[in-house]
Structure 1
Amino acid sequence: MARIVRVSAERAPPRERRNAMRIGIIGAGKIGTALAKQFTRVGYDVAVSNSRGPETLAGLVEELGDRARAMTAEEAAEYGEVVVISIPYGRYREVPAAPLRDKVVIDTCNYYPERDGHDPELDNDDTTSSEKIRAHTGANLVKAFNAIYWENLRDRNRPKGAPDRLAIPLSGSDEDARAVVAALIRDIGFDPVEAGNLGQGGRKHQPGTEVYGAEIPAERMSEIFRAS
């Protein structure tokens, strides 16, 4: 079971919302940075990290404001009640595993053989990249934010009920962990759509699928998943 289950900050008063949970982000590339901006915007405390050291993130932390801090990957993994892994899949073994065991971890990674090198298990569809990251970390892993373009993640947040609010797919095998991540997706201005468990569901929103990169509402995404 997941370590924490929080009430959606979207339904919480401002003070509770700011104190809802701490989020660690391993990887400060485009997706990781966009998530850091969104999470701090709605009042979460965020720790960002990269492979080059906290001192290289001073500019980003200054931009994000007083709810952000720079840490090492190990420190960010310890700090976060929820931790985001947003690095090239080929480097997932570098992620500190011990601090993530049994935590809610969001995997934004995608497997691109031309970048990551060929992984025979993934090339043969024997498993998925998320299942391999879960095995490495022992976390309650949820795959999310991997199918949305980073510019849309940064700029296309909308109020609840807006006709142009975008859907974000997620998949995971732990119900409580999925609920935590779904709440975070809503909090930052998107609609979560569950695809299923980490294996079967994760395959529905990996690169090459109909929803990958699609700018569609939740109802349409749900239809696609029901038909698949």
Structure 2
Amino acid sequence: MTTLGLIGAGHIGSALAQTALDAGWDVVISNSRGPETLADLVSELASRPSAGGAVRAGTAAEAAAAADLAVVTIPLRAIGQVPAEPLAGKVVIDTNNYYPQRDGQVAELDEGRMTSSELLQQHLSRSSVVKAFNHIAATQIVSARSAPGTEHRRAIVVAGDDEAAKQRVAAFIDAIGFDVVDLGSLADSWRIEPGTPGYGAEDDAEQLRAHLAAASRG
């Protein structure tokens, strides 16, 4: 059984846990407050009839160590707390967005010298970071799923510097119910950040590509 390790148990983390379980994955979920605070969420996720995998709570380090595929879904200001060593050599999905009112001002992002995913990649220098799931509402990660070949199937962007890592994340996205659009590198991921045409849009692949092309930085 393949394991999804979630660092972050908020709305996006919980939604990805549900969809991964429904796709037959095992899940280890963590937060900053400790595994004991996730007992109710784990019980709720495990009790659903559609869950095909097993779920348990752990620390962030335990979720990272158990992960065949990892997800970092915490506020940008906290990425320095992500355990790097147990994620070395692994593919890490980054769902984060930069919100200055929450995260504080980050000069590299304000000046367009880096993207938020490049900051995470810098911290996780021995991992392969792939941007995904930052432009869809958490509830829609559950409600907008559909089978491959569905007309106007909802699409999710992937961006990353490792082609094999992007392909692995794309396979996961397809398995849980979405089409995939390859945006390019982590440096290109500004095209799907807050305020761009594709951010929050309920796009199929063709519409999403058009919105990405129409994005401007500034």
Q: Shared fold (TM-score greater than 0.5)?
A: yes
Partner of 1:195: 183
User: Once the 2 structures are TM-superposed, how far is the Cα of residue 226 of structure 1 from its aligned partner?
Assistant: 4.6
Structure 2 spans left out of the alignment, 5+ residues: 47-52
Partner of 2:173: 185
Partner of 1:16: none
For the 8 Å contact 1:158–1:164, the answer to whether it is kept is no
Q: Letter of the aligned partner of 1:169 in structure 2?
A: V
Please, which of 206, 209, 215 is the counterpart of residue 219 of structure 1? Answer: 206
Q: Identity, % of aligned pairs?
A: 47
Please, which of 107, 112, 115 is the counterpart of residue 128 of structure 1? Answer: 115
| Bigger relative contact order (CA 8 A; separation at least 6) | 1
CA distance in structure 2 between the partners assigned to 1:121 and 1:221 by the alignment:
27
User: Once the 2 structures are TM-superposed, how far is the Cα of residue 61 of structure 1 from its aligned partner?
Assistant: 1.0
- The superposition leaves residues 158-213 of structure 1 with CA deviations (integer Å, 9 ceiling, x where unpaired) of 1112224211111001000000000011001111111111112x111111111000
CA distance in structure 1 between the partners assigned to 2:38 and 2:153 by the alignment:
31
User: Once the 2 structures are TM-superposed, how far is the Cα of residue 101 of structure 1 from its aligned partner?
Assistant: 1.8
Partner of 1:61: 42
CA distance in structure 2 between the partners assigned to 1:227 and 1:118 by the alignment:
26
**1:32 is aligned to 2:19:** no
CA distance in structure 2 between the partners assigned to 1:127 and 1:151 by the alignment:
29
**1:158 is aligned to 2:139:** no
CA distance in structure 2 between the partners assigned to 1:24 and 1:64 by the alignment:
15
Partner of 1:137: 124
- The superposition leaves residues 7-60 of structure 1 with CA deviations (integer Å, 9 ceiling, x where unpaired) of xxxxxxxxxxxx2x2110000000000000000011001100000100111111
Count of aligned pairs between the two proteins: 208
TM-score for the superposition, normalised by structure 2: 0.92
CA distance in structure 2 between the partners assigned to 1:58 and 1:164 by the alignment:
37
CA RMSD in angstroms comes to 1.2
Report SS of the residue matched to 1:212: coil
- The superposition leaves residues 122-177 of structure 1 with CA deviations (integer Å, 9 ceiling, x where unpaired) of 11111111101111012100000001011111211011122242111110010000
Structure 1 spans left out of the alignment, 5+ residues: 1-18
Report SS of the residue matched to 2:186: coil
- The superposition leaves residues 74-131 of structure 1 with CA deviations (integer Å, 9 ceiling, x where unpaired) of 1101110111000001110011111112210000010000000101111111111110
